[in-house]
Chain A
Amino acid sequence: MAIELKMPALSPTMEEGTLAKWLVKEGDTVSAGDVLAEIETDKATMEFESIDEGTVGKILVAEGTEEVKVGTVIAILAGEGEDVSDIEAPAPTASSDDEVKDVEGEGKDVGREGNPLDIDKPASKPRADDPEVPEGTNMVKLTVREALRDAMAEEMRLDERVFVMGEEVAEYQGAYKVTQGLLDEFGPKRVIDTPITEYGFAGIGTGAAMGGLRPVVEFMTFNFAMQAIDHIINSAAKTNYMSGGQMRCPVVFRGPNGAASRVGAQHSQNYGPWYASVPGLIVIAPYDAQDAKGLLKSAIRSDDPVVFLENELVYGQSFEVAQLDDHVLPIGKARIMREGSDVTIVSYSIAVGVALEAAEELAEQGIDAEVIDLRTLRPLDTETILKSLAKTNRVVIAEEGWPTCSIASEVIAVCMEEGFDHLDAPVLRVCNEDVPLPYAANLEKLALIDKDRVVAACRKVTYAD
């Protein structure tokens, strides 16, 4: 059968090109790999190779022709045993692709036009509340550090697939002692010291999750995870989608995030907004010990990749924790830390403590502030934010992190888009200063969010001054 040679697309964006030169003439015998013609696009001159063997029958587009559309038949190749002179040339402009209705974009669309506005987006369902703590449950004081350790130990007891890896997690007992005692209980198979090689072990952890395990990958701090961010985003977050739902990646990346104390700019950054911008990830940033424990347990059980952001300055703080066998908290649910009626302070991680202090001071000034701890940054519990906004009509976001493209920016956008009618004042954000974190004690203090700034913002939106 005669083979139609069509004007090829040589790049994803090429629609037409110039047939610069024919390197064969009618009657020539060609084999696979022979260059038939040179084709010019705006980017380059490319050689057009034959894929088949045969004899060049008719050349339908002369050399030097410009604006030849991709898919146009430019020549006919006669196959083995065919007589070149028998070949009928098709009408030069007819492209056999015309029979497929091409709607738009690359490739041939077979007629379905998708307008994003017509698609039923999966509606976000109301999220479950925290499970009730039964009356009379014994409450114990636990540091966040101990709560995190207990969460890992409990899940490791329940599920053989769970293991912990990272720098200094085993014999050193954790750079910040979060994994203290795990090596003794679970042994070196399940508590694994890695070399200082974040990109590599984040990849190994992610691959192990793809292979069916449930890794908890500790970064000594999230600052070092920047070396590994490719695996968190490109490998862990996207693979389920790219595989059409075949590939699971139930990995937890955890470690301290945000500013510590006097460690300078490279060791002091909040990555919450970075990870929270990525579809395919769950991002959790708890504040107190109860949430740290309940949410880390949920994170380890989740079938999705989770970024679990802790805070070094909170590790040593003690909180009341209910003594329950298996306290698991819902991912994606914010928590109202303090009820109030005049202004809502939205916060997460260490800034929740700042927000609660500010609320105390505001109370003394006669302003009743509600404090929301987001706990999960992705998916964001917009329902709880908007409900509170409808009640107080005023929102301030307190965030230990840079203001630009922050979680605060996102909450402001949500309030504008979905809560505009309830707003009695512009939403304000109280964040760190927009500078790399300085080392000098006085400058560091100036750069970080504090109670006074939150109080001032709340007074402003309540028109108290």
Chain B
Amino acid sequence: MAKASDSKAEKNAQPAGDDDFALRSLQEALEKEKRFKPSEDQLMHFYEQMLLIRRFEEKAGQLYGLGLIGGFCHLYIGQEAVAIGLQSALDNDRDSVITGYRDHGHMLAYGIDPKVIMAELTGRAAGISKGKGGSMHMFSTEHKFYGGHGIVGAQVSLGGGLAFAHQYNEDGGLCLAYFGDGAANQGQVYETMNMAALWNLPIVFVVENNQYAMGTAVKRSSAETEFYRRGTAFRIPGMDVNGMDVLEVRQAAEIAFKHVRDGNGPVLMECNTYRYRGHSMSDPAKYRTREEVQDQREKNDPIERIKKELAAAGIDEDKLKEIDKGIRATVAEAADFAESSPEPEPGELYTDVLVGEY
């Protein structure tokens, strides 16, 4: 492709020292100004959205415990700042998002009705996938949210394809492709990074490093545990971001998205975060100590952090309690809806297998 060969020529023309600088330049930009400066409304909105994810996921955990949600259910508790920080910086008219199976938070970040998400978790006709996808397989083409994929790492190549389509259509959009520290060891992730860099695709690769791939700690599975460095082999600049701070994530998103939109090709961003709950609901949690989890909750919680910001901005504690109350009511309503709405009609068994009639 013409663009690819041009950019390659440019890169090759640079002396080696500049190359190294290019790989670090985004990180350096972040270091200069680490945190996004939100308006009071924005700050409040971040708080509300993160709290909605937290409360939604707590409720999903409860419903799972009651047998209302089946199969696998991966909760996003602890990681809220990542989805909110990044997705709040998207241009929703053009940009696309794709992720793995821990996808409830990313959908809520779009403002998708919690009812249809919860109803999908309980396998009901009103669910966003008509009850046929479940927790791991949810999509909203209306919002350019392309799933919700159950195979570890597959969403990265698919995201490469979405980015390819943005470039092909010249629509100015970019693809935000999330994956975990576990998926970061899949071969296709690097196959995709190679092509994305080669073809200068508009994509931001985001490693949500929650420290454990199921029960395997990063240091037990990865020779290079600093995932943001892993694009170096493909000349993709990396960013190392505190994924527990929504304002830092948002700031990093601003820098990364601008880089991609300016036609500079892909960015690899590592968001260091922590999942409080098990990998899925059936996780015995024997691979880490309770103290470690409790320490993260107490010292590093993304919602508590923003609460402090709000207090510093002079927001009344009672107002925050009021918001929490409202969100609890929204989530309770979603749960009621998900429990009481009907299962799919039996005839749905045969629909949506193929689009055409043959």
Which residues of chain A have a CB within 8 Å of any CB of chain B? Answer: 6, 8-12, 14, 32-33, 35, 44-47, 51, 70-71, 97, 100, 106-110, 112, 114-116, 118-122, 125, 127, 163, 188-189, 192, 194-195, 197, 199-213, 215, 230-231, 234-235, 239-248, 279-280, 282, 302-304, 330-332, 376, 379
Contacts and interface: CB of A to CB of B under 8 A. Distances in A.
Interface in B326-358: 339-340, 342-343, 346-347, 349-358
A379 B282 CA distance: 39
Contacts of B163: 207
B225 interface: no
Contacts of A116: 346, 349
Contacts of B96: 211
Interface string B173-215: 0000000000000011001101100100000000000000000
6 contacts: A107-B69, A110-B340, A206-B161, A244-B129, A246-B129, A332-B358
Given A8-B66, A302-B355, A332-B358, 17 more contacts: A33-B294, A108-B68, A112-B342, A114-B346, A114-B349, A200-B157, A200-B188, A203-B191, A211-B164, A212-B169, A235-B158, A242-B129, A244-B352, A245-B130, A246-B141, A280-B353, A280-B354
Contacts of B161: 203-211, 215
B130 A244 contact: yes
B2 A108 contact: no
Contacts of B194: 195, 197, 200
Given A121-B350, A230-B154, A234-B150, A204 B68 contact: no
B64 A9 contact: yes
Given A107-B69, A192-B1, A195-B198, A207 B165 contact: yes
B146 interface: yes
Given A116-B349, A246-B139, A107 B68 contact: yes
Nearest to A47: B285
B78 to A, nearest CB: 11
A188 B2 CA distance: 7
A33 B69 contact: no
A309 B163 CA distance: 28
A85 B335 CA distance: 30
B64 A211 contact: no
A6 B69 contact: no
B62 interface: yes
A331 B356 CA distance: 10
Nearest to A44: B284
A11 B140 CA distance: 28
A201 B132 contact: no
B164 A243 contact: no
Nearest to B281: A10
Interface string B55-92: 00010011011111111100000000000000000000
Interface of B: 1-2, 58, 61-62, 64-72, 96, 98, 122-123, 127-133, 137-141, 146-151, 154, 156-166, 168-169, 187-188, 191-192, 194-195, 198, 276, 281-282, 284-286, 290, 293-294, 297, 339-340, 342-343, 346-347, 349-358
A201 B61 CA distance: 37
Contacts of B358: 127, 282, 330-332, 376, 379
B34 to A, nearest CB: 29
A304 B131 CA distance: 21
A207 B159 contact: yes
- 3 interchain residue pairs of minimum CB distance: A207-B161, A203-B157, A200-B191
A240 B290 contact: no
B165 A12 contact: no
Contacts of B131: 244
A197 B284 CA distance: 38
Nearest to A100: B339
Given A203-B192, A330-B358, A118 B346 contact: yes
Nearest to B284: A44
A12 B71 contact: yes
A202 B122 contact: no
A8 B277 CA distance: 15
B135 to A, nearest CB: 11
Contacts of B98: 207
Contacts of B162: 207-208, 210-211
Contacts of A6: 65-66
A302 B151 CA distance: 26
Contacts of B294: 33
A46 B334 CA distance: 28
Which of B147, B282, B290 has the largest number of chain A CB atoms within 10 A?
A: B282
A241 B352 contact: yes
Contacts of A197: 191, 194-195
A212 B67 contact: no
Contact of A213 (B58, B159, B165): B165
Contact of B157 (A32, A188, A204, A215): A204
A240 to B, nearest CB: 5
Contacts of B2: 188-189
A97 B67 CA distance: 10
Contact of A33 (B70, B139, B276, B353): B276
A37 to B, nearest CB: 13
A51 B61 contact: yes
A207 B160 CA distance: 7
B127 A244 contact: yes
Given A6-B66, A106-B71, A197-B194, A46 B284 contact: yes
Nearest to A378: B358
